[in-house]
């Protein structure tokens, strides 16, 4: 792989996102928090701002998910549907470089999104004099980026060999199921049915365990302490490894396609 060509593709993805005004959603997030300040803080005052803390992180996650799914599924699929993929293939660039470049470009967009929203979020917390665990929130934001990176890999992989609409639906399904994999596994154990238990174990192994990368509730409610450094590293490694595996599948499928 040529990292120079990959960086050019990644930069083009970022430029296209700015041209499509996707980054305006950061301003939308700020407006939502501004409106929520008056509507929620009066209620949240009785619970030490927990409702506003939860709302801000939940909205950050929702916007990040929308960007990862809708942009990710269209990165390759849009090129295929518009036949512009022929122009990319004709250039001295490999198909693996196209996939990796598009993915890294999307990660750059997500990094800008999440960093900007985190700064806005912390600014509103400071302005509203709401007690908040800054370190825990920053760690939760980093792991939100890792979670969205994994979802982006899912979106790109599905977008390589399905239509945009189907890829969007399947990616959202993976996200929902991925946040419930541990519950599904526990449900299988409680069923006392060997067939159901094995089926849920297969689902747990195949689907990404997104709960490993979700620290929002811990950051907001502090019901339990943040995982120790070793656990954080292992969970981050899990997300990265799963993303690399999905990209490998995407590269393989894309390399086999004829246009």
Q: Residue 230 belongs to what domain range? A: 3-179+214-256
Would residue 21 count as lying in a domain?
yes
pLDDT digits (tens, 9 = 90+) for 168-189: 999 999 999 888 888 777 887 7
Query: What are the distances in angstroms from CA 257 to CA 44, 152, 162, 237, 250?
Result: 54, 21, 12, 30, 11
**DSSP designation for 211:** G
pTM of the model: 0.89
Residue 205 belongs to some domain of the structure = no
Instruction: Decide if 160 is inside a domain.
Output: yes
Q: Is residue 80 part of a domain?
A: yes
pLDDT in tens, 221-248: 765 566 788 889 999 999 999 999 999 9
Counting the structural domains of the chain, the total is 1
Tell me, yes or no, whether 13 lies in a domain.
yes
Instruction: For the chain, give the number of residues.
Output: 259
**Residue 103, in any domain of the structure:** yes
Tell whether 206 is covered by a domain: no
Q: Note whether 253 and 160 are within 8 A (CB).
A: yes
């Amino acid at each position: 792989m040529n990292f120079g060509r990959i960086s050019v593709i990644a930069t083009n993805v970022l430029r296209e996102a700015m041209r499509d005004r996707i980054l305006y959603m950061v301003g939308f997030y700020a407006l939502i928090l501004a409106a929520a300040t008056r509507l929620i803080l009066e209620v949240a005052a009785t619970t030490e701002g927990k409702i506003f803390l939860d709302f801000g992180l939940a909205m950050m996650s929702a916007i990040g998910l929308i960007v990862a799914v809708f942009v990710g599924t269209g990165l390759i699929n849009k090129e295929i549907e518009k036949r512009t993929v022929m122009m990319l293939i004709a250039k001295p660039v490999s198909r693996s470089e196209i996939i990796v470049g598009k993915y890294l470009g999307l990660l750059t967009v997500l990094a800008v999104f999440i960093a900007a929203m985190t700064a806005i979020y912390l600014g509103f917390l400071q302005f509203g004099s709401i007690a908040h665990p800054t370190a825990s929130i920053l760690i939760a934001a980093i792991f939100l980026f890792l979670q969205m990176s994994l979802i982006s890999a899912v979106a790109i992989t599905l977008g390589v060999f399905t239509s945009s609409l189907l890829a969007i639906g399947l990616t959202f399904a993976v996200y929902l199921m991925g946040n419930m994999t541990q519950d599904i596994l526990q449900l299988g154990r409680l069923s006392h049915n060997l067939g159901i238990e094995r089926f849920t174990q297969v689902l747990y192994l195949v689907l990404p365990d997104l709960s490993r990368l979700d620290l929002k509730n811990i950051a907001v409610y502090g019901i339990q302490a943040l995982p120790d450094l070793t656990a954080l590293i292992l969970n981050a490694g899990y997300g990265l490894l799963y993303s690399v595996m999905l990209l490998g599948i995407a590269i393989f499928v894309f390399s086999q396609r004829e246009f």
